[in-house]
Structure 1
Amino acid sequence: MTPFPLTWLYAPGDRPHTVTKALASGADVVIIDLEDAVAPDRKTYARKATAERLAEPQPVPVHVRVNALDGPLASADLQAVAALPGVAGLRLPKVTAPHQITRIAETTAPADGGAPPLHALLESALGIEHAYAIACAHPALRGIALGEADLRADLGIRADAGLDWCRSRVVVAARAAGLAPPPQSVHPDTRDLNGLAASCAHGRTLGFLGRAAIHPRQLPIIERAYLPTEQELDEAETIVKAAVTEQGAQALPDGRFIDAAVVAAAQRTLSLARRA
C-alpha cells in the first residue's frame, strides 16, 4: 500500500462485478462492505463471495468492513476473511470501546503471527468520547475514522458544521496515538462533485488525509483536493532547501519564519507529492 493512501472506495460484497470494477478504478484502497451496503437476506452470499475473491492476493490493497461487532454476524465474517491472502485490513464498524479492538486482535491473530491490520470506525457519541483510548487499544490498530451518517443520527445533528468538533476530536486522537491522519467519511451525494470538492477542502483544513468514496467518479476529486498544489510544493521546496543550507530556526527572504516543525511539514508535503 502507498504510505499515503488518499482514496478508499467502498464496494458491496454481494456484487462481485462491482468489486471487480472497484479494483480497476484507481482507488488506493478498496473496501469490500459486508455491512450497510448489503441487504439482510444477502449477507451470507456477500460473505461467501468475498471469501472466494480474497482467497488470492489482489492487485490493490483490499479491506473488508465486517458487520457490527455487537451483532450476530461479525464473528462469522471475521472467521471467513481475517486470514485470507487478499485481505490487507479489517474495518470494524460502530466501535465504542477499546476492549472491542483488543478482543478482535486476539481472536484474529494466527498462532504463528500477529493480527491483521485493524481500522476502527467511530459512529456514535460513545465512540467519540473514547476516541483516544480506542486509538491506543492494540498495536494491530492502524487507523481510526468517522462514520458520519450514524454519528449524525446519534447526535441529532442537522447542519454539517455540527460535526466539526467530532472530526477534530478524531484527528487529534489519531495523531496523539501515533496513527496516520484519518480519512474523511464518505460524501453521500455521488453527483454533487462541487460539494464534494468543497467538503474535501474543509476536511483538509481540519487535518484529515484522503477520503472514503462510494463511486469511482468521486476519486479524482478527492485526490486533487488532497494532493499539494503547485504553490504548496514551491513553498515546501524553498523551506527544505533553506534548511539544508542553514541549520536551526531562521527567517526566509520573504519574512517567513521556519523551524524544525515547519521543515518537517514541508518534507511531508514533498513526500505526499511523490507518493506515486
Structure 2
Amino acid sequence: MTPLTWLYVPGDRPEVVQKALSSGADIVIVDLEDAVAPHRKTYALAATAELLSSPQPVPVHVRIHAERDIAPLAPLPGLAALRIPKVTHATDIRVTAKLAPGKGLYALLESAGGVEHAYAIATADPAVRGIALGEADLRADLGVRNDTGLDWPRSRVVVAARAAGLPPPTQSVFPDIRDLDGLAASCAHGRSLGFLGRAAIHPRQLPVIERAYLPGPEEVEAAEEIVKAATTDAGALALPDGRFVDAAVVAAAHRTLSLAGRDGA
C-alpha cells in the first residue's frame, strides 16, 4: 500500500503518540526535533525508545534531533525508519547510515544548500528511502514571502527523487490545522507538481490529505479506458474521444489504478 498520510507527533508526549498509532495515519513520525522543547529532549528520547522496544501496529519513523539520538533507537524492533533533518550534503546521510545499519533513512532538505545537493543526497546510500522538503526552515533561509516562491525547490526535489529511483516526495506540513479548505487546495497544487501524500500535524488533516491524493472517479474511469484500449503489440493510438495514447500514457494510467486500489477501485 502506498502511504499517503504521515502524522507528526511530539516525542515527549507518549499519550499523544499512542493516539496517533490508532489515528488512521499510514505512518506515524515521532518528532524529537522542533516539536520538543530543549529541556524535554532527553525525556522524549527515553520515552520514544521505550515505545519502540516492541513492534507497533503501523510503521513508526523518528525525526531525530541530533546524532546522539541514533544509537539508542537504531536497534529497536519498533523503529521503521529515521528522518534526518537539515541535510545539506551527501556526507550527512553516509554518516547516519553507518550508525543505523539496516534502517531506512529519509532526508529532509531545509536550506538552499540541501536543495542544490538534492540528487547527491538522494543517491548517497542505498539506505535512503526518500527525500522531502522542510518548508518552514527553507522559507526562512530563502527569504520567500509567499507560498508560490517555493515551487522551484518543490519541483527540484520531485525531479531529484525520480532521477534517483525513489518514490515521489511527500509534501511538507500545512501549518493551519483549522483551514481544511486551504489544506485541500494546497494538496491539489502539490499533486500537480508531482508530490504524493503529505505530512500532517493533526489527525483532522488526514482525511483531507487522503481525499486530495486518491484518484477521483473520473480519473479512475479515464485510466481504465486507456488500459483497456492499449495492447502490448500496438504502438500509439487515439481513443474515440480524441485522446492520444502511447506507452507513457498507459504507464501513468496503471499508476492511477494502482493508487486507486487503496479504496477498492
TM-score under structure 2 normalisation?
Answer: 0.97
Q: Which residue of structure 1 aligns with residue 78 of structure 2?
A: 86
Query: Once the two structures are superposed, what CA deviation does each residue of 1:155-209 show, in whole Å capped at 9, x if it has no partner?
Result: 0111100000000000000001000000000000000101000000000000000
Query: Offset at 1:76?
Result: 2.2
What's the counterpart of residue 57 of structure 1? Answer: 55
- Give the 3-state SS of the residue equivalent to 1:254 in structure 2: coil
Does the alignment pair 1:213 with 2:200? yes
Structure 2: how far apart are the matches of 1:255 and 1:31? 45
Query: 1:47 maps to what in 2?
Result: 45
Selected match of 2:139 from 152, 165, 174: 152
Q: Cα RMSD over matched residues?
A: 1.0
| Structure 2: tracts of 5 or more residues without a match | none
- Structure 1: tracts of 5 or more residues without a match: 68-73, 110-114
1:96-148 deviation per Cα after TM superposition (whole angstroms, max 9, x unaligned): 00011111111211xxxxx3000000000000010011011111001000000
Deviation at 1:249, TM superposition (A): 1.2
Runs of at least 4 residues of structure 1 off by over 6 A?
none
In structure 2, C-alpha distance between the alignment counterparts of 1:84 and 1:134, rounded to whole Å: 25
Q: What corresponds to 2:186 in structure 1?
A: 199
The superposition leaves residues 221-270 of structure 1 with CA deviations (integer Å, 9 ceiling, x where unpaired) of: 00000000100000000000011486221111111110111000000000
8 A contact 2:67–2:96 mirrored in 1: no
Q: Quick one: distance in 2 between partners of 1:151 and 1:159?
A: 12
Question: Which one-letter code corresponds to 1:152 in the other structure?
Answer: R
Identical pairs, percent:
72
Task: Tell me which residue corresponds to 1:99.
Answer: 91
Query: How many residue pairs get matched?
Result: 263
1:27 matches 2:25: yes
Q: Which residue of 1 aligns with 2:240?
A: 253
Q: What is the distance in 2 between the residues matched to 1:107 and 1:151? A: 27
Task: State the match for 2:34 in structure 1.
Answer: 36
- Out of 251, 258, 261, the position equivalent to 1:271 is 258
1:245–1:108 CA distance, 2 compared to 1 (3 A): closer
Separation of aligned partners in 2, 1:48 and 1:245: 55
* TM-score, scaled to structure 1: 0.94
Q: Deviations over 1:58-109 (max 9, x none)?
A: 0001000001xxxxxx232101111210011100000000011111111211
